[in-house]
Copies of this chain bind each other. A is one copy, B any other.
């Protein structure tokens, strides 16, 4: 994409009313636009990163046998009354509205209930199970305060998968497989080394649930981390006897963290009230054993922005960067323009995504903006590089700068096509 066609501008200062680090950076770099507190639109660069993260998650969910669906935001009150999650006293983050005839509707803050109802229409026999179905879809949560940027929004993109199993054993195998896929997701998007498989409250149907918590000073949670074993325990259960029995807590150190994923064993909590049963091999009706598995796509973008940035801007991992290469043309000399244009065409033809800075600005302005945008590789074409028949290649993460011939550069970048 030509930067002259990218209508967003970068800003030297973040808006004064924005307190979160991720939103400050992402607004300054032109990735997001604040509509109101906790509600952010995605600008062109933001759309690209969000889609890339969604695709990393999608590939892993497909890999464990997940099938993609897309449920609706509008929610039928009667379904949620069956599980007693409609009342404001039970769930305090609903956005609710009304149809013209006065019927109340809600905006989905999660989707266990409609997923269970939808699957109940499709399942009769043990032969129909197990099912893993997921969506990547917008959730709405009426948060009292919204000060964490895109890490805790009132409207945000989330992947939620639900598993439907015949037996507890089958459920546990699926649960373990998804836990592994989650770890691969966090590795791929660049926060795996700081993300801990964390024991958390299990609710009424299992001893523990599990969170994936990423260490960060801006986190709202405190977890107790065992660095060697790469596990952690959420503070909320640190004093429970089951925890004290299972872990030697002397080796666990408290740290601030943010929850980037969670996986729950739901047992029959939803299948029983919503009548999701199957007929087993012996002809008996059995309730389906469920699990739910969430990852906030927007939150993941926020945590990557916070953790992988430096004083001068964002540093996207190559797996989710909006473009792999930021091609910067310096000066308006015809020979420079034509060389940059030809390199742009060659890279695009090789399948490499390129943001091509074809604008007339000073080197200082262009470099500062390039650092802020955080595209992994910066390639400079100038009169100087042209004279030496090379380009200049800078790695945004390490800061290392090298000179490289055009053909070698194309070959090198093609690895990331």
Q: Which residues of A contact B (CB under 8 A)?
A: 1, 5-9, 33, 35-36, 39-44, 46-47, 50, 65, 67-76, 95-97, 99-100, 105, 107, 114, 118-119, 121-123, 128, 131, 133, 138, 140, 142-144, 154-155
Per assembly, the copies of the chain total 2
Given contacts A7-B131, A65-B5, A97-B95, contact A35 B71 (CB under 8 A): yes
A-B contact pairs, 24 of them (CB 8 A): A6-B67, A7-B67, A7-B119, A8-B122, A9-B122, A33-B121, A35-B72, A35-B75, A36-B76, A36-B105, A39-B74, A43-B118, A44-B133, A46-B69, A46-B70, A47-B69, A47-B70, A50-B70, A73-B138, A73-B140, A74-B154, A74-B155, A95-B97, A138-B138
A70 contacts across to B, CB distance below 8 A: 41-42, 46-47, 50
- Known A-B contacts A122-B9, A138-B138, A155-B73; A144 and B43 likewise in contact (beta carbons under 8 Å): no
> Closest residue to A8 on the B side, CB-wise?
B122
**Contact of A69 (CB < 8 Å), options: B9, B41, B65:** B41
Task: Select the residue from A35, A39, A95 with max chain B CB neighbours within 10 A.
Answer: A35
Contact of A67 among B5, B36, B73 (CB under 8 A): B5
Residue from B35, B96, B100 in contact with A114 in the complex, judged by beta carbons closer than 8 Å: B35
Contact of A118 among B33, B36, B119 (CB under 8 A): B33
A353 CB to closest chain B CB, in angstroms? 13
Q: Which of A44, A67, A74, A121 has the most CB of B within 10 A?
A: A74
Could you say which residues of chain B place their CB within 8 Å of the CB of A1?
A: 67
Tell me if B118 and A41 are in contact (CB < 8 A): yes
A157–B273 Cα gap in the complex (Å)? Answer: 31
Task: Decide yes or no: A35 and B121 within 8 Å by CB, A6-B67, A41-B71, A47-B68 being known contacts.
Answer: no
Q: Which residue of B lies closest to A33 (CB)?
A: B118
Chain B residues lying within 8 Å of A100, measured Cβ to Cβ, are 142-144
Would you list the 4 A-B pairs with minimal beta carbon distance, nearest first? A42-B70, A41-B71, A95-B97, A7-B131
B122 touching A72, Cβ below 8 Å: no
- A50 contacts which chain B residues (CB < 8 A)? 70
Q: How far is the CA of A140 from the CA of B72 in the complex (A)?
A: 11
